[in-house]
Amino acid sequence: MVALTPLGNLPYPQPADNADIPVHLQSLAEAVDGRTVLRFADAAARDAKVTDPIPGMVAWLNNPGRHYYFTAAKQWAPLSLGPAHWSSTLSGTTTSTAYVETLTGATDPFALTFIAPPYGAAVLTIGARFNNSAAGLAYFSASVKQGTRVVTAAADSRAAVVGGTNQVTASIQFPLTGLTAGAAYTVTGAFRTTAGTATFTNRYLTITPMI
């Protein structure tokens, strides 16, 4: 009767078992197979092959070049995530009193894509050096989307704010919670002014996973 190792439950034959080496090796190989780092071209290839994943499984995907593990919540999530960062030194302006995601004179796509961490929470930091041509206020916020769905909209309560004509570097941090582990999200900068022309430069976005 085949016995099992005490920690990994791997099968091994007993002296009374039939001396069928190929069968014993196959049983051991199949037991080890799901415990190794699996390798696939992408998520579609992984899901086609691993139809009944078990929490704790680890897989490497050539695209996007990252390790994933299957969580207790029955989802594939990135094994390890570090901060994601985007920045630009281009200067742009807006006269809009409602939030806009583009600036006149700045042609860069001011957006940052990140993968939600296993616990579904991250901290977003946004900042820039900016000022206003008048005595009004200039706001720099951001929207967060999953695909086309807006998860967190730009808002004054989540914005760095500068008043007056002197250039000032300002930033703000706020948490993003309730994210779907392993899903892709996009953060896009958003800008507005209460009066005059607001000018923004040295803009940046940083996502720091909460673990």
- Does the pLDDT value for residue 182 go beyond 80? no
pLDDT in tens, 66-99: 888 888 778 887 776 678 999 999 999 999 999 9
- Portion of the chain with pLDDT greater than 70, in percent: 91
Answer for the pair 25, 41: CB distance below 8 angstroms, yes or no. Answer: no
- Does the pLDDT value for residue 183 go beyond 70? yes
Q: What's the confidence (pLDDT) of residue 116?
A: 86
- Portion of the chain with pLDDT greater than 90, in percent: 54
- Does the pLDDT value for residue 130 go beyond 90? yes
Q: What's the confidence (pLDDT) of residue 80?
A: 64
Q: What's the confidence (pLDDT) of residue 112?
A: 92
Q: What's the confidence (pLDDT) of residue 7?
A: 58
Q: What's the confidence (pLDDT) of residue 95?
A: 96
What is the Rg, in whole angstroms, of the alpha carbon atoms belonging to the chain? 25
The third-level CATH classification (topology) of the domain covering 84-209 is Jelly Rolls (2.60.120)
Tell me how far apart the alpha carbons of residues 211 and 201 are, in angstroms, rounded to a whole number: 32
Please state the rounded mean pLDDT for residues 86-113.
Answer: 93
The residues spanned by each domain of the chain are: 3-78, 84-209
- Does the pLDDT value for residue 59 go beyond 70? yes
More confident residue, 149 or 117: 149
3-state secondary structure 148-196: CEEEECCCHHHCEEEECCCCEEEEEEEEECCCCCCCEEEEEEEEEECCC
